[in-house]
C-alpha cells in the first residue's frame, strides 16, 4: 500500500506523519536560528474539524495553509483503512502536546499558555509544572477576552517571545485566531490544542486507557457531555462515514470498469 505524506479526507488536509517525524518537524521549527517573521501553525484534524471545514471556507483555508496538520482520532484511522490511504499514527493533540512539552523541557525552550477559563488555566499550569518541573512556562492567559484585552495579550506574548504558544480555544476559533495573528506573533510555533487545558487541569476526566486503545474515547466524551457532543456522534460521524463509504464504492466501481 502507498504511504503518502499528505492525504485528504473529503478534501481536508492531513499530514500523514509518524510521531517521530512530527516531533522532528517541531524540533526544526523551534530550533531555527532565523528571526520569526511568521509563527508556524500546527493544527490537528479530526472528524469534527473536517465537518466544520466542509461548511466554513475560512477554516478550510486555515487548515490548507498550516505548516503541519496532524491526524487526530480513530475516525481518521478507520477512514484511512477504508480508502486505502493508511494513516500512520493517531497524533491527537491531547497525547501529542505533552510530548512536545517534554521535548521543550529537555531543550530549555519556553511555552506560553493561551485559552480555557481562568481557574482551569491556573490548575493546568500548576499540573504542567508538577509533571515537567523544568518546563519554562513564561506566560498564561485565559481564553475569554475582548478586542482591547486581545491587544494586550498579543503585546505580552511578543514581549516574552515564547518558543511554543499553546492555543486552547476550541475549533474553529483557535485555528482562525492563530492564522489571523501568526504574522504578528513573536512565537516560533502555535499549536491549536482544543480542550487540552481542560484535561491537563483535571477539570475534565480523560477516557480510561483501555477505551483510548480501542479508539472509543469519543464514547466517553459523549457520556461526559451529551448536550454539546451529541451532534458530533450522531450526525457528524455517521455523515462522515457515509461519505467515506460512498467514495469507496465509487473507487471500487471506477477501477472495475
Ligand atoms: N474556550 C476559550 N475561549 C472561548 C471559547 C472556548 O478559551 O472563547 C476554551 C474552553 O474553555 C475549552 C476549549 O476552549 O477549554 C474548547 O474545548 P473543546 O473541547 O470544545 O475544543 P474542540 O474539541 O471544539 O476543539
pLDDT tens sequence across 183-229: 999 999 999 999 999 999 999 999 999 999 998 999 999 999 999 99
Question: For the residues of 108-175, what is the DSSP string, one character each?
Answer: T-EEEEEES-HHHHHHHHHHHHHHSTT-EEEEEE-S---HHHHHHHHHHHHHH--SEEEEES-TTHHH
pLDDT level of residue 35 (50, 70, 90 thresholds): confident
Rounded distance from Cα 191 to ligand 1 centre (Å): 14
Instruction: Cell numbers for 89, please give them.
Output: 499514527
Evaluate the CA torsion angle 195, 56, 243, 4 in order and state its sign.
negative
Half-sphere exposure of 2 (CA within 13 A, CB side): 7
Q: Which protein residues are within 6 Å of ligand 1, measured from CB?
A: 115-117, 143-144, 168-171, 173, 194-195, 197-198
Say if CB 52 and CB 176 are below 8 A apart: no
First to last CA, the chain: 21
d(CA 210, CA 223): 16
| 2 pLDDT more than 60 | no
pLDDT of 207: 95
pTM for the predicted model, two decimal places: 0.95
| 154 pLDDT more than 80 | yes
Pocket test for ligand 1, best of 169, 178, 217 (most atoms within 8 A of CB): 169
Instruction: Cell numbers for 257, please give them.
Output: 470498469
Can you name the residues that pair with 45 across neighbouring β-strands? 71
Instruction: Cell numbers for 100, please give them.
Output: 512536545
Rounded distance from Cα 143 to ligand 1 centre (Å): 8
**Number of Cβ atoms within 10 Å of the Cβ of 182:** 22
For residue 198, give the ligand 1 atom closest to its CA: 15
Rounded distance from Cα 85 to ligand 1 centre (Å): 30
Residues 6+ apart with CB under 8 A from 60: 11, 12, 53, 54
Rounded distance from Cα 245 to ligand 1 centre (Å): 31
Can you name the residues that pair with 140 across neighbouring β-strands? 113
Rounded distance from Cα 117 to ligand 1 centre (Å): 9
pLDDT of 34: 82
CA 31 distance to own-chain centroid: 21
Can you name the residues that pair with 190 across neighbouring β-strands? 41, 165
Which helix H or strand E contains 192, and what residues bound it? strand 189-192
Ligand 1 atom 15: residue of nearest CA: 116
Ligand 1 atom 10: residue of nearest CA: 116
Ligand 1 atom 16: residue of nearest CA: 170
Polymer length in residues for the chain: 257
pLDDT of 4: 52
Amino acid at each position: 500500500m502507498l504511504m503518502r505524506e499528505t492525504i485528504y479526507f473529503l478534501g481536508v488536509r492531513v499530514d500523514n506523519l509518524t510521531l517521530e517525524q512530527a516531533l522532528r518537524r517541531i524540533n526544526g521549527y523551534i530550533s531555527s536560528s532565523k528571526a520569526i517573521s511568521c509563527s508556524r501553525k500546527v493544527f490537528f484534524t479530526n472528524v469534527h474539524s473536517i465537518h466544520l471545514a466542509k461548511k466554513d471556507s475560512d477554516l478550510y483555508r486555515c487548515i490548507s495553509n498550516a505548516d503541519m496538520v496532524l491526524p487526530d482520532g480513530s475516525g481518521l484511522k478507520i477512514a484511512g483503512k477504508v480508502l486505502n490511504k493508511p494513516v500512520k499514527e493517531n497524533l491527537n493533540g491531547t497525547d501529542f502536546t505533552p510530548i512536545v512539552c517534554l521535548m521543550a523541557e529537555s531543550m530549555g525552550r519556553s511555552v506560553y499558555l493561551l485559552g480555557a477559563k481562568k481557574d482551569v488555566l491556573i490548575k493546568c499550569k500548576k499540573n504542567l509544572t508538577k509533571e515537567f518541573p523544568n518546563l519554562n512556562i513564561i506566560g498564561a492567559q485565559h481564553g475569554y477576552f475582548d478586542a482591547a484585552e486581545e491587544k494586550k495579550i498579543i503585546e505580552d506574548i511578543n514581549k516574552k517571545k515564547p518558543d511554543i504558544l499553546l492555543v486552547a480555544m476550541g475549533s474553529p476559533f483557535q485555528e482562525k485566531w492563530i492564522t489571523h495573528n501568526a504574522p504578528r506573533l513573536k512565537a516560533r510555533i502555535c499549536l491549536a490544542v482544543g480542550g487540552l487545558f481542560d484535561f491537563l487541569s483535571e477539570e475534565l476526566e480523560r477516557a480510561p486507557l483501555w477505551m483510548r486503545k480501542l479508539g472509543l474515547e469519543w464514547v466517553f466524551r459523549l457520556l461526559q457531555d451529551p448536550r454539546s457532543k451529541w451532534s458530533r456522534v450522531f450526525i457528524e460521524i455517521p455523515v462522515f462515514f457515509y461519505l467515506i463509504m460512498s467514495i469507496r464504492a465509487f473507487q471500487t466501481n471506477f477501477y472495475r470498469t
